[in-house]
Structure 1
Amino acid sequence: MLAYRHAFHAGNHADVLKHLVLVQVLRYMAEKDKAYTLVDTHAGAGGYSIEGRYAQKKGEYSGGVARLYDAKDLPEPLKPYIELVKEFNPDGQLRQYPGSPALANLLMREQDRLRVFELHPTDYRILASYLSTRPNTQVSDKDGFSSLKGELPPPSRRAVVLMDPSYELKSDYAKVLATMREGLQKFPDTVFLIWYPQLALLESTQLAQRLKASADTLAKKGWLHVRLTVTQPDEKGFGMLGSGMFVVNPPFTLHDQLKDSLPWLVDKLGQYDGANFVLEQRVA
């Protein structure tokens, strides 16, 4: 949706969960010498100013990455993620937040292929400039959902796909499910990382179950589902309560890494006594 700007939400609790998972998956993929391809279907601008007017308008980062940035008791699985955020802020102060493409740029090797898609014209220009010198990279202003089929399978037959649309259009829920199914039918080994908001909407509450049902039949290595609930609905019953990540063909290490991190994240990011997490996995 062209009106959506992630800069308003950069570094919030949902980014923490999403990027913890992304960093651990990309680190795992790099354990083999063979190159891999990362496809980011809704890439955003790449990086965001925490001090800018967008981020400052709601200050969502203060309830997310800011609570982790100087923490002395970080669980081990969270340390690589926070180290990358600090690398993105060379003066030591939290002034910029790295989006998914920036984290990928910091982690991926020269031989690894990066394919990013962003429709918003301003964010596309920023992203294209930021990644202009990275080898084996293509930045496109085409629709990421429809473009994915042309990226699978990649030449090395090792692929990670990150899908995190804004979901401001309810049709995004159906598109996420359809795109995952089509991608797995083309290349069943694809590691899908699917982020979704936890909202009081039928589409949101049903998405994880629908993803599970499809992954049960199409994924070669099963799936993992993690959800972090940090707050309650507002007085009208609305608001984003938290977020989830659905991982298809997850690294075998990911479950234990999240298990070690989630209780700490609930304590640090939870905004009410009922804050909680869900972690479930099916191994094919």
Structure 2
Amino acid sequence: MNYRHAFHAGNHADVLKHVALLALCDALTAKPAPVFALDTHAGRGLYALDSNSAQRTGEADDGIGRLVAEAPADPLIGRYLQAVRACRHEHGKHAYPGSPWLLAHALREQDRIAACELHPEEAAQLATNFSREPRMAVHARDGYAAMKAMLPPRIGETRYTRGLVLIDPPFEAQLEEFDKAIGALRDALARWPQGCYALWYPIKLRRSLQPFYRRAAAMPAKSALIAELLVRPDDSPLHMNGSGLLILNAPFQLDARLAPALKALAQTLGERQASARVEWIMAPP
């Protein structure tokens, strides 16, 4: 696997994913029971947007850079920007938080995090970045295999009935990755049916995702929510025109909170004909 997220950190896909991730964390921590979070493709967890990798693509300029400059008045976006500011206060003005950092920022002392990364160099940097975070266990291993090994979650004497699994694969082989992710989700739901699952996916041509939507709607979950942000029309298979999250067993009213946030992101980050969609493909009971 050659993918390195440092080239893409802070882009429009990260903005979508991380706005939604914090909303999920806040919903889960609204109740006192402890929460377990599994980040299956964690990367290094912390990025420098002035690095050669980030500067080579410049993707953050049209993502977090533009969002910081315009700061839309939406509570979920405000929550996200607050987390980015906290990260930069701690790590410098060019820092950008990956999902492990955001999980550590949003979850509580009684909660636990497992962060998995298969790429050896990225896994080593992830372990270094969070060596002083006692709530987080870093695993240099395949994230899909970790879902089988770690679910249902139990640490010591604590069994976790509530929690989140974030699946953020590189999609280097897109159709094959969808097959892997759907299979892993189906198996995980059998092991831990009450967990909340969020799968990130890229969008080039939305119509090509129809088989994925059908399979997602047939998952053995209580509900399935799609949250998508397109920063340009999905009329070219050569570019990532947007991205989405499939959220299984979404917390109550998450759709109502996400919809205005994604609309504001489309207006701020998008080109002409940008769009957002928050839709149940399997409505909750």
The answer, yes or no, to whether TM exceeds 0.5 is: yes
Summarize the Cα distance change of 1:151–1:274 in structure 2 as closer, same or farther, 3 Å threshold: same
Aligned positions of 1:197-208 closer than 5 A: 197-200=202-205, 204-208=209-213
Q: Which residue of 1 aligns with 2:13?
A: 14
Report how far residue 137 of structure 1 moved: 2.2
CA distances 1:158-194 after superposition (whole Å, capped 9, x unpaired)? 1200001000023211110000000001111110011
The 3-state SS of whatever aligns with 1:70 is helix
8 Å CA contact 2:9–2:60 kept in 1: the answer is yes
Q: Which residue of 2 aligns with 1:167?
A: 171
Please give the root-mean-square deviation of Cα atoms over the aligned residues, in Å.
1.9
1:35 aligns with 2:39: no
8 Å CA contact 1:114–1:137 kept in 2: the answer is yes
1:279 aligns with 2:283: no
Summarize the Cα distance change of 1:118–1:204 in structure 2 as closer, same or farther, 3 Å threshold: farther
The 3-state SS of whatever aligns with 1:193 is strand
8 Å CA contact 1:55–1:61 kept in 2: the answer is yes
8 Å CA contact 1:36–1:113 kept in 2: the answer is yes
Summarize the Cα distance change of 1:265–1:224 in structure 2 as closer, same or farther, 3 Å threshold: same
**Matches of 1:49 and 1:74 in 2, distance apart?**
26
Report how far residue 71 of structure 1 moved: 2.7
Q: Which residue of 2 aligns with 1:158?
A: 162
Aligned positions of 1:117-266 closer than 5 A: 117-154=116-153, 155-170=159-174, 171-200=176-205, 204-214=209-219, 218-220=220-222, 222-232=223-233, 237-266=237-266
Summarize the Cα distance change of 1:156–1:242 in structure 2 as closer, same or farther, 3 Å threshold: same
**Matches of 1:125 and 1:92 in 2, distance apart?**
18
Amino acid in the other structure paired with 1:230: V
The 3-state SS of whatever aligns with 1:231 is coil
CA distances 1:250-272 after superposition (whole Å, capped 9, x unpaired)? 1113111112212211111112x
**Matches of 1:157 and 1:72 in 2, distance apart?**
36
Amino acid in the other structure paired with 1:242: G
- Could you list the runs of 5+ residues in structure 2 that have no partner in the other structure? 154-158
**Matches of 2:180 and 2:199 in 1, distance apart?**
12
8 Å CA contact 1:228–1:242 kept in 2: the answer is yes
Summarize the Cα distance change of 1:233–1:257 in structure 2 as closer, same or farther, 3 Å threshold: closer
Count of residue pairs the alignment pairs up: 277
Summarize the Cα distance change of 1:237–1:160 in structure 2 as closer, same or farther, 3 Å threshold: closer
8 Å CA contact 1:153–1:159 kept in 2: the answer is no
What is the TM-score normalised by the length of structure 2? 0.92
**Matches of 1:104 and 1:73 in 2, distance apart?**
23
**Matches of 2:198 and 2:249 in 1, distance apart?**
9
8 Å CA contact 1:69–1:94 kept in 2: the answer is no
Amino acid in the other structure paired with 2:261: S
Q: Which residue of 2 aligns with 1:100?
A: 99
8 Å CA contact 1:225–1:247 kept in 2: the answer is yes
Amino acid in the other structure paired with 1:226: A
The 3-state SS of whatever aligns with 1:89 is helix
Report how far residue 199 of structure 1 moved: 2.0
What is the TM-score normalised by the length of structure 1? 0.92
Amino acid in the other structure paired with 1:274: Q
CA distances 1:221-250 after superposition (whole Å, capped 9, x unpaired)? x1211111112468x741101000010011
**Matches of 1:56 and 1:233 in 2, distance apart?**
26
Runs of 4+ in structure 1 deviating by more than 6 angstroms, as ranges, are: none
Amino acid in the other structure paired with 2:249: N
Report how far residue 134 of structure 1 moved: 1.5
Q: Which residue of 2 aligns with 1:79?
A: 78
The 3-state SS of whatever aligns with 1:188 is coil
User: Identity of aligned pairs, percent?
Assistant: 35
Report how far residue 30 of structure 1 moved: 1.0
Amino acid in the other structure paired with 2:181: V
**Matches of 1:228 and 1:201 in 2, distance apart?**
11
